[in-house]
Amino acid sequence: MSLRLRGLHLLPLLRRRSCSPLLLRRRRLLRGWPPPLVSAIPSRAFGSSGIPARACASSGFSGMAAVSPPTPQQQQQRCVVEVREGVELTEKEERIFRRLLDVVRHFGLGTQLRVAGGWVRDKLLGKDSTDIDIALDNMTGQNFCEKVNEYSELLGEEQKGIGVIQCNPDQSKHLETARMLIFDIWIDFVNLRSEKYAENSRIPTVEIGTAKEDAFRRDLTINSLFFNINTNTVEDLTGRGIEDLKKGLIVTPLPAKATFLDDPLRVLRAIRFAARFNFTLTEDLKDAASDEKVKSELGSKISKERIGHEVDLMMSDKHPVNAMCYIRDLGLFYVVFAFPEKPDPPVPDKCDRLCFSHIEVAWNLAHSIGCSVFSGGSDSKSQDEHRRLCFYSALFTPVRNTIYLDKKSKKIPVTNYIIRDSLKLKASDADTVVNVHAASEKFAELINLLESNENLTTVKEKLDDEYLEIPTDSVKRVLTGLILREIKDFWRVALFICTLTYPEVSSGGDSLGQPDELHQRKEKYTRAERLITELELDGVWKMKPLLDGKAIMGIMQVKGGPLIGKWQQRLLKWQLAYPRGTTEECIEWMKQSQSKRQKV
């Protein structure tokens, strides 16, 4: 047993002696934790568009404007990526790993425990991660989980449930995975694998393999690293995982085309990691990703749920624009975002480039405006949700007015189809994006009214009769409030999409990215947001009616019917016009209004 491993198991005894945090820190340093940094990255204050970097934790902005992914030549000019020489464990991770080693020793399993993939990569990059996948060299994940529970029972602890995700070779899911909760952290267990292919079959026979065989079957070299819990060391068994991490390269351990045909979803994973870390896809990987056979199998072999999950991770990450740029340039747009049959109007030939142009400009415009676009969320999680759905809305803006007929001949927005059927995301996501598009159209007319000096009496004459009873100086507040009650806390996102979209530009959309055009649209958003805020309407969707349907029936002496709904709409407008009005004043207005109508 190594000295470092013994130190790991002595830690509970050290803590019982009331070690100070500083002393524990010194002991970790003696054991090589944290390892020294081997290089550094200079910060960049400006992106290529000249827009200053902004600090905005909730938005996910990294301070870099939307640009196309770097070329290999640009990549060579970068400083090497900051990579640690070893892994620094948290106290929770130490506790988990001690328990797993105790299980191995107690039952004499002789198992080498390795943390695989993304957790190791993130640790070497100095990032925290709770995505712990344990690779086992001599047994299945389910069998090991059962041993963990057996050991817990010996200690008088509650046994945990074991979830097993079965393999599905038809969907390129070759490994059975067992999952269980250990000290409040979900841990996945899977055996190391090797694969053998029969002459006439593309579905491999999967067997327990060596760590090296498993490393070479991984999707990318930066994800092929292991942390050996038994020896407390990082293992780079492909011989290039750490080097590629330092150089910022996205490379497959085996030839890229074979790797992608083994599991075509790896194409999207490669794109996602390239975008997340701002790394570079190598030329041979890009050639393989754009191969017609690979694209065909991505569309036919991989479930829409798995594709949608990868895309959603891209859109939720720090650089969704870079990811969409790769998807466009590699010819994957129509594979990933499948359209329904017979859209009306027909989707333009360059729809992929139009969609990318809009999300790219949206990214730069959002950087220019700042974090207020996503401030409708009450906390960082909901703000991230606003950000994610904002960029979906921007991406699909070019097809916002395109519809198709479903099986019942009902007109459905194409955007709804892409999000719900192509990506299999939540129905609420599709509804929100469709509603954002609809509200943005209404905002286009409203902004002109808010900014115009047109006589409001003239404006009232163009509206429905119900507005005649509204004070002239309250018309703007009522019209704005009705839109905000429809779109609710996404109103800033809808306003943002409106300023992105209107006034419309040429079909190519190239002028959208010009600095002068961006500045004008930023100013338009800022003015409109200020005017709406001055109307004190933020949160108006939470406003409760002063009178419910039952009260209206009592006042109007009616037993129900469509008249009640009409009165509810009129009362809503009255409340928007008189935000400080009381129930008594509302009732009095109803009686006077009814009396006037009866006289007419």
Is pLDDT at 42 greater than 50 in this prediction? no
Backbone angles phi and psi of 230, in degrees to 5? -65, -40
Q: Give the pLDDT confidence score for residue 176 in this predicted structure.
A: 82
Q: Give the pLDDT confidence score for residue 183 in this predicted structure.
A: 95
pLDDT 10s digits, 417-455: 999 999 999 999 999 999 999 999 999 989 888 877 777
* CA contacts within 13 A on the Cβ side of 221: 26
pLDDT 10s digits, 332-372: 999 999 999 999 999 988 999 999 999 999 999 999 998 77
Q: Are 557 and 594 in contact (CB under 8 A)?
A: no
Q: Are 335 and 37 in contact (CB under 8 A)?
A: no
Report the C-alpha gap between 125 and 278 in whole angstroms.
Answer: 13
Of 413 and 30, the structure prediction assigns the larger pLDDT to: 413
Tell me what percent of the chain is helix, strand and coil, each rounded to the nearest 5. 55, 10, 35
CB atoms closer than 10 angstroms to residue 68: 15
Is pLDDT at 108 greater than 80 in this prediction? yes
Is pLDDT at 38 greater than 80 in this prediction? no
pLDDT 10s digits, 539-552: 999 999 999 989 98
pLDDT band at 208, cuts 50/70/90? confident
pLDDT band at 472, cuts 50/70/90? confident
Full-model pTM: 0.81
pLDDT band at 206, cuts 50/70/90? low
Is pLDDT at 195 greater than 80 in this prediction? no
Beta bridge partners of 249: 280
Report the C-alpha gap between 54 and 68 in whole angstroms.
Answer: 19
pLDDT band at 197, cuts 50/70/90? very low
CB atoms closer than 10 angstroms to residue 449: 15
Strand, helix or coil for residue 57: coil
Tokens 């100095």 found at: 126
